[in-house]
Each structure stands twice: as C-alpha cells, then as structure tokens.
C-alpha cells in the first residue's frame, strides 16, 4: 500500500504560480498528477519516471508546468507557472509501483491516488 498526501493548492490570480507537493509513504515506480474540474472529465496533467529522467505533459500545460521528484523524501512536485482560469480544478497525485511499460495518460495505470488539493485561478 502507498499513501499519498497532497499539499500546496490554493487561490491565485491568473498569471501567478503555485507548487503542489505529494508526499508518498514509500518510493514509487512512477508518479504523476491528474486534475478534474466540476462537470468535466478527469484529465492527465503530468507524469514522471522513477529516476526523474522521463517526464510527460499534457498539451494544455506543456511549457507552463514542471514535474519533479525528490526520491530521498519520496515526494513529487508540480510547479505551475502562468496559471490560467482554465487550470482551476482538483489536482490529484497518482503513483504506480509496478515496473514495465504503461500508458502515462491512462488513469488505470496508477493504483494509488491522493485525496486531492484544490487549485483556483481567478481572472
């Protein structure tokens, strides 16, 4: 079992920045972030491999968000810059403990999910 605890969400004006953190109870093979806005489908945001050498971003956040990890702390980060109102959503940390190939953007690839942290961007 892996417990994931997110922090760092909040209210920010458009153009501002936030950094989300996700502390895991143990090291994971891969990790990432999904988000879901009211009335919308859950969507993949970013993913990172165990070593951190591979990262993957959805098109809407590419160039604005950066995912990173500190394996000594079992923590994954999502630095979000130039935030837009359309980034408003609940953000969920996800983790995978199985090695091997997988589809970054598929929610079923991740067995563990955090409780979520709210990000609200005002215009």
pLDDT class of 100 with cuts at 50, 70, 90: confident
Our measurement of the distance from residue 100's CA atom to the centroid of its chain's CA atoms, rounded to an integer in Å, reads 20
pLDDT digits (tens, 9 = 90+) for 77-90: 999 999 999 999 99
- Dist CA 89 CA 36 (whole Å): 5
Closest CA to 86 of 44, 48, 38, 47: 38
- Dist CA 48 CA 39 (whole Å): 27
Contact indicator for 43, 29 with CB cutoff of 8 Å: no
Q: Give me the chain's average pLDDT, please.
A: 95
Predicted pLDDT of residue 91: 98
Closest CA to 5 of 21, 28, 29, 26: 21
pLDDT class of 92 with cuts at 50, 70, 90: very high
Q: Indicate whether 55 pLDDT > 90.
A: yes
- Dist CA 1 CA 113 (whole Å): 11
Contacts of 114 (CB under 8 A, 6+ apart): 4, 5, 6, 22, 92, 93, 94
Closest CA to 26 of 75, 78, 99: 75
Average pLDDT over residues 94-117: 92
- Dist CA 119 CA 26 (whole Å): 25
């Amino acid at each position: 079992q892996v417990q994931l605890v997110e922090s760092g969400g909040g209210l920010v004006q458009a153009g501002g920045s936030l950094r989300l953190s996700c502390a895991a109870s143990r090291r994971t093979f891969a990790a990432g972030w999904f988000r879901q806005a009211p009335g919308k489908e859950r969507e993949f945001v970013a993913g990172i491999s165990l070593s951190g050498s591979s990262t993957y971003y959805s098109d809407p956040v590419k160039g604005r968000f950066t995912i990173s990890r500190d394996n000594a702390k079992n923590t994954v980060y999502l630095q979000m810059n130039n935030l837009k109102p359309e980034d408003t959503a609940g953000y969920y940390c996800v983790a995978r403990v199985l090695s091997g190939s997988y589809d970054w953007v598929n929610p079923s690839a991740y067995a563990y999910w955090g409780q979520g942290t709210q990000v609200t961007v005002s215009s």
